[in-house]
């Protein structure tokens, strides 16, 4: 189970790489490492509104079923959360490169955004 609380929200801000407005939230990543993650403004505002009613609990089995249904509705093959991480890594890499970064620097940034300390871990998501 994952629990999200309103004090984790960090507000709306400009993404330093794309200039787009995004929502930010503080999480505990692997090994309890603090990390700031971003999301679309719409997702952030919906989460903020939901948190006005209390904590948001995300149960693993419910999440998986929802993800499976969403993939089916979109005509996509279900591949779990790692499929989302692959998509994120590849999309973000392209955005950062289009912003003027070199391929190697873009990989470094994506690695940090994914909470990785080693570039070789991130590279598996870029294949």
Residue 61: band (very low, low, confident or very high) from pLDDT cuts 50, 70, 90: very high
Distances (CA, A) of 19 to 16, 38, 97: 6, 13, 14
Tokens of 22: 């995004």
For 2-29, b/e burial (b = at least 16 CB within 10 A) is eebeeebbeeeeeeebeeeebbbbeeee
Across 31-54, average pLDDT: 93
More confident residue, 9 or 117: 9
Which residues lie below 8 Å from residue 3, measured CB to CB, with a gap of 6+? 55, 56, 57, 58
pTM as predicted: 0.78
Q: Where are the domains of the chain?
A: 1-58, 63-127
Contact present, 22 and 15 (Cβ < 8 Å): yes
pLDDT at residue 121, rounded to an integer: 86
Residue 30 pLDDT > 80: no
For 57-75, b/e burial (b = at least 16 CB within 10 A) is eeeeeeeeeebeeebeeee
When mean pLDDT is compared over 43-47, 83-87, 99-103, the highest value belongs to 43-47
Burial class (CB in 10 A: 0-12, 13-18, 19+), 83: middle
Which helix or strand (DSSP H or E) is residue 73 part of? helix 60-73
């Amino acid at each position: 189970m994952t629990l999200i609380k309103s004090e984790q929200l960090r507000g709306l801000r400009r993404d330093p790489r794309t200039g787009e407005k995004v929502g930010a939230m503080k999480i505990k990543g692997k090994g309890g490492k603090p990390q700031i993650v971003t999301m679309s403004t719409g997702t952030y505002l919906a989460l903020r509104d939901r948190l006005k009613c209390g904590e948001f609990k995300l149960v693993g089995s419910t999440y998986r079923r929802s993800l499976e249904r969403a993939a089916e509705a979109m005509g996509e093959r279900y591949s779990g959360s790692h499929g989302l991480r692959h998509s994120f890594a590849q999309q973000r890499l392209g955005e950062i490169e289009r912003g003027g970064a070199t391929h190697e620097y873009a990989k470094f940034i994506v690695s940090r955004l994914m909470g990785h300390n080693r570039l070789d871990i991130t590279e598996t998501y870029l294949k």
